[in-house]
Amino acid sequence: MIAVWCGFGLALGMALSANSHADGAAIAKAGAGAAPACQTCHGAAGEGVPQGGFPRLAGLGASYMQRQLDAFVAGTRVSSVMMPIAKALAVVDRAEVSAYYAALPVQAVPAAVLPAAPASAPAVAPASARVGATLAIRGRWADKLPSCEQCHGPGGRGVGSDFPALTGQGATYLANQLMAWKTGARPPGPLGLMAAVAKKLSDAEVRAVADHYASLPVRGAR
Protein backbone atom coordinates (compact mmCIF):
# COMPACT_ATOMS: atom_id res chain seq x y z
CA MET A 1 0.00 0.00 0.00
CA ILE A 2 2.82 2.41 0.89
CA ALA A 3 4.49 1.74 -2.46
CA VAL A 4 1.18 2.39 -4.25
CA TRP A 5 0.71 5.74 -2.50
CA CYS A 6 4.34 6.72 -3.11
CA GLY A 7 3.92 5.91 -6.80
CA PHE A 8 0.68 7.88 -6.92
CA GLY A 9 2.30 10.86 -5.21
CA LEU A 10 5.22 10.83 -7.61
CA ALA A 11 2.91 10.63 -10.63
CA LEU A 12 0.75 13.44 -9.25
CA GLY A 13 3.79 15.63 -8.63
CA MET A 14 5.06 15.04 -12.16
CA ALA A 15 1.63 15.81 -13.60
CA LEU A 16 1.35 19.04 -11.61
CA SER A 17 4.83 20.07 -12.69
CA ALA A 18 4.04 19.39 -16.34
CA ASN A 19 0.76 21.29 -16.03
CA SER A 20 2.55 24.22 -14.38
CA HIS A 21 5.00 24.44 -17.26
CA ALA A 22 2.14 24.20 -19.74
CA ASP A 23 0.31 27.06 -18.03
CA GLY A 24 3.55 29.05 -17.88
CA ALA A 25 4.08 28.44 -21.58
CA ALA A 26 0.59 29.73 -22.33
CA ILE A 27 1.26 32.94 -20.38
CA ALA A 28 4.62 33.38 -22.09
CA LYS A 29 3.15 32.91 -25.56
CA ALA A 30 -0.32 34.41 -25.25
CA GLY A 31 -0.44 36.39 -22.02
CA ALA A 32 -3.02 36.17 -19.26
CA GLY A 33 -5.85 38.65 -18.72
CA ALA A 34 -4.45 42.17 -19.03
CA ALA A 35 -0.87 40.88 -19.13
CA PRO A 36 0.53 40.61 -22.67
CA ALA A 37 2.60 37.67 -23.89
CA CYS A 38 6.05 37.67 -22.29
CA GLN A 39 7.66 36.75 -25.59
CA THR A 40 6.59 40.09 -27.04
CA CYS A 41 9.53 41.71 -25.25
CA HIS A 42 11.68 38.78 -24.11
CA GLY A 43 11.89 36.81 -27.36
CA ALA A 44 10.22 33.65 -28.58
CA ALA A 45 12.61 31.42 -26.61
CA GLY A 46 13.19 33.76 -23.68
CA GLU A 47 16.53 34.77 -25.19
CA GLY A 48 15.97 38.48 -24.57
CA VAL A 49 16.15 41.46 -26.92
CA PRO A 50 19.41 43.29 -26.17
CA GLN A 51 18.77 46.34 -28.31
CA GLY A 52 15.53 46.99 -26.43
CA GLY A 53 17.07 46.43 -23.02
CA PHE A 54 14.86 43.38 -22.40
CA PRO A 55 16.69 40.63 -20.47
CA ARG A 56 17.13 36.96 -21.14
CA LEU A 57 14.76 34.88 -19.01
CA ALA A 58 15.59 31.39 -20.28
CA GLY A 59 17.52 29.36 -17.76
CA LEU A 60 17.35 31.86 -14.89
CA GLY A 61 16.30 30.45 -11.51
CA ALA A 62 12.56 30.12 -11.00
CA SER A 63 12.64 31.47 -7.44
CA TYR A 64 14.77 34.42 -8.57
CA MET A 65 12.34 35.36 -11.35
CA GLN A 66 9.32 34.95 -9.08
CA ARG A 67 10.91 37.27 -6.51
CA GLN A 68 11.45 39.88 -9.21
CA LEU A 69 7.81 39.68 -10.30
CA ASP A 70 6.71 39.94 -6.67
CA ALA A 71 8.94 43.00 -6.24
CA PHE A 72 7.31 44.66 -9.25
CA VAL A 73 3.90 43.97 -7.69
CA ALA A 74 4.99 45.40 -4.33
CA GLY A 75 6.58 48.43 -5.98
CA THR A 76 9.99 47.78 -4.44
CA ARG A 77 11.43 47.22 -7.91
CA VAL A 78 10.44 50.04 -10.25
CA SER A 79 9.70 49.62 -13.96
CA SER A 80 7.01 51.44 -15.89
CA VAL A 81 6.79 48.42 -18.22
CA MET A 82 6.93 45.49 -15.80
CA MET A 83 4.96 46.80 -12.82
CA PRO A 84 1.51 46.79 -14.51
CA ILE A 85 2.25 43.46 -16.19
CA ALA A 86 3.26 41.77 -12.93
CA LYS A 87 0.22 43.20 -11.16
CA ALA A 88 -2.02 41.70 -13.84
CA LEU A 89 -0.70 38.21 -13.04
CA ALA A 90 -2.06 36.16 -10.16
CA VAL A 91 0.40 34.69 -7.66
CA VAL A 92 0.06 31.26 -9.29
CA ASP A 93 0.61 32.79 -12.74
CA ARG A 94 3.87 34.38 -11.59
CA ALA A 95 5.05 31.05 -10.21
CA GLU A 96 4.11 29.13 -13.35
CA VAL A 97 5.68 31.49 -15.85
CA SER A 98 8.84 31.62 -13.75
CA ALA A 99 9.03 27.81 -13.74
CA TYR A 100 8.48 27.74 -17.48
CA TYR A 101 11.33 30.10 -18.27
CA ALA A 102 13.66 28.43 -15.77
CA ALA A 103 13.23 25.15 -17.64
CA LEU A 104 14.12 26.61 -21.06
CA PRO A 105 17.62 26.06 -22.46
CA VAL A 106 19.91 29.05 -22.71
CA GLN A 107 20.34 30.17 -26.30
CA ALA A 108 22.40 32.84 -27.97
CA VAL A 109 20.41 35.75 -29.34
CA PRO A 110 19.82 35.13 -33.07
CA ALA A 111 21.90 37.42 -35.27
CA ALA A 112 18.68 38.53 -37.00
CA VAL A 113 17.50 40.38 -33.89
CA LEU A 114 20.81 42.02 -33.05
CA PRO A 115 21.16 45.65 -34.09
CA ALA A 116 23.43 46.20 -37.05
CA ALA A 117 26.41 48.31 -36.04
CA PRO A 118 27.22 51.23 -38.34
CA ALA A 119 30.42 50.72 -40.30
CA SER A 120 31.93 53.70 -38.52
CA ALA A 121 30.90 52.61 -35.01
CA PRO A 122 33.95 52.46 -32.72
CA ALA A 123 34.73 49.24 -30.88
CA VAL A 124 34.82 49.24 -27.08
CA ALA A 125 37.97 51.12 -26.11
CA PRO A 126 40.75 48.81 -24.88
CA ALA A 127 41.04 50.79 -21.65
CA SER A 128 37.29 50.41 -20.97
CA ALA A 129 37.46 46.69 -21.76
CA ARG A 130 40.33 46.28 -19.29
CA VAL A 131 38.42 48.17 -16.61
CA GLY A 132 35.33 46.03 -17.09
CA ALA A 133 37.27 42.77 -17.00
CA THR A 134 39.29 43.84 -13.95
CA LEU A 135 36.22 44.83 -11.95
CA ALA A 136 34.43 41.63 -12.97
CA ILE A 137 37.30 39.30 -12.13
CA ARG A 138 39.29 41.08 -9.40
CA GLY A 139 37.16 43.91 -8.04
CA ARG A 140 38.82 46.90 -6.38
CA TRP A 141 39.72 45.99 -2.85
CA ALA A 142 41.14 49.44 -2.05
CA ASP A 143 37.49 50.56 -2.06
CA LYS A 144 36.20 47.30 -0.53
CA LEU A 145 34.61 46.54 -3.88
CA PRO A 146 34.42 42.76 -4.46
CA SER A 147 34.65 41.23 -7.89
CA CYS A 148 31.42 40.33 -9.66
CA GLU A 149 32.65 36.73 -9.88
CA GLN A 150 32.70 36.35 -6.11
CA CYS A 151 28.91 36.16 -6.12
CA HIS A 152 27.98 35.45 -9.74
CA GLY A 153 30.58 32.75 -10.32
CA PRO A 154 33.38 32.27 -12.86
CA GLY A 155 32.53 33.96 -16.12
CA GLY A 156 29.36 35.37 -14.54
CA ARG A 157 27.50 32.10 -15.14
CA GLY A 158 25.38 32.43 -11.99
CA VAL A 159 25.37 30.83 -8.54
CA GLY A 160 22.33 29.43 -6.75
CA SER A 161 18.98 31.19 -6.58
CA ASP A 162 20.16 34.62 -5.48
CA PHE A 163 22.95 35.39 -7.93
CA PRO A 164 21.75 35.07 -11.54
CA ALA A 165 23.89 34.66 -14.62
CA LEU A 166 25.22 37.87 -16.12
CA THR A 167 26.40 36.29 -19.36
CA GLY A 168 23.73 36.19 -22.01
CA GLN A 169 22.33 39.55 -20.93
CA GLY A 170 22.62 42.66 -23.08
CA ALA A 171 24.84 45.55 -22.04
CA THR A 172 21.92 48.00 -21.93
CA TYR A 173 19.95 45.82 -19.52
CA LEU A 174 22.95 45.20 -17.25
CA ALA A 175 23.88 48.89 -17.16
CA ASN A 176 20.27 49.88 -16.47
CA GLN A 177 20.08 47.50 -13.51
CA LEU A 178 23.33 48.76 -11.98
CA MET A 179 22.02 52.32 -12.31
CA ALA A 180 18.72 51.23 -10.73
CA TRP A 181 20.64 49.92 -7.71
CA LYS A 182 22.61 53.17 -7.55
CA THR A 183 19.42 55.22 -7.45
CA GLY A 184 17.37 52.88 -5.25
CA ALA A 185 14.90 51.97 -8.01
CA ARG A 186 15.62 48.28 -7.41
CA PRO A 187 15.77 46.40 -4.07
CA PRO A 188 19.36 46.09 -2.77
CA GLY A 189 19.34 42.28 -2.88
CA PRO A 190 20.75 39.79 -0.36
CA LEU A 191 22.61 41.58 2.44
CA GLY A 192 22.25 44.83 0.51
CA LEU A 193 25.19 43.78 -1.66
CA MET A 194 24.13 45.08 -5.04
CA ALA A 195 23.24 48.59 -3.89
CA ALA A 196 26.56 48.86 -2.07
CA VAL A 197 28.50 47.59 -5.09
CA ALA A 198 26.71 49.77 -7.64
CA LYS A 199 27.21 52.94 -5.60
CA LYS A 200 30.98 52.42 -5.72
CA LEU A 201 31.01 52.33 -9.52
CA SER A 202 31.23 55.42 -11.69
CA ASP A 203 28.88 55.67 -14.65
CA ALA A 204 31.78 54.79 -16.95
CA GLU A 205 32.62 51.74 -14.84
CA VAL A 206 28.99 50.63 -14.92
CA ARG A 207 29.10 50.63 -18.70
CA ALA A 208 32.49 48.91 -18.77
CA VAL A 209 31.28 46.02 -16.58
CA ALA A 210 28.05 45.73 -18.59
CA ASP A 211 29.98 45.64 -21.88
CA HIS A 212 32.32 42.99 -20.46
CA TYR A 213 29.57 40.55 -19.55
CA ALA A 214 27.58 41.22 -22.71
CA SER A 215 30.65 40.22 -24.72
CA LEU A 216 30.98 36.77 -23.08
CA PRO A 217 29.50 33.59 -24.60
CA VAL A 218 26.30 32.28 -23.05
CA ARG A 219 27.36 28.63 -22.97
CA GLY A 220 26.98 27.26 -19.45
CA ALA A 221 25.07 30.31 -18.19
CA ARG A 222 22.21 29.72 -15.73
The C-alpha atoms of residue 88 and residue 69 are separated, in whole angstroms, by 11
Q: Are residues 192 and 138 in the same domain?
A: yes
The C-alpha atoms of residue 41 and residue 142 are separated, in whole angstroms, by 40
**Each residue of 62-115: pLDDT tens digit?**
999 999 999 999 999 999 999 999 999 999 999 999 999 999 998 766 544 444
Q: Are residues 68 and 156 in the same domain?
A: no
| 13, HSE (Cβ side, Cα atoms, 13 Å) | 6
What domain range includes position 154?
124-214
State how many domains the chain has. Answer: 2
Which pLDDT score, from 0 to 100, does residue 127 have?
Answer: 84
Residues of the chain with pLDDT under 70: 1-22, 108-124, 219-222
The packing angle between helices 2-30 and 91-102, to 10°, is 90
Q: Would you put residue 168 in left (φ > 0), alpha (ψ -120 to 50) or beta?
A: left
Return the ∠ at Cα 88 (arms to 87 and 92), rounded to 5°: 90
Residue type, 165: A
Which pLDDT score, from 0 to 100, does residue 110 have?
Answer: 55
207: domain CATH number is 1.10.760.10
Could you give the 3-state DSSP secondary structure of residue 32? strand
Q: Are residues 16 and 101 in the same domain?
A: yes
CB neighbours of residue 191 within 10 Å: 10
C-alpha distances out from residue 83 to 45, 111, 167, Å? 22, 30, 25
Residue 119 lies in a domain: no
Residue 221 lies in a domain: no
The C-alpha atoms of residue 135 and residue 181 are separated, in whole angstroms, by 17
pTM of this prediction? 0.81
Can you spell out the DSSP letters for 106-153?
P-PPPGGGSPPPPTTPPPPPHHHHHHHHHHHHT-BGGGTB--THHHH-
Which pLDDT score, from 0 to 100, does residue 158 have?
Answer: 95
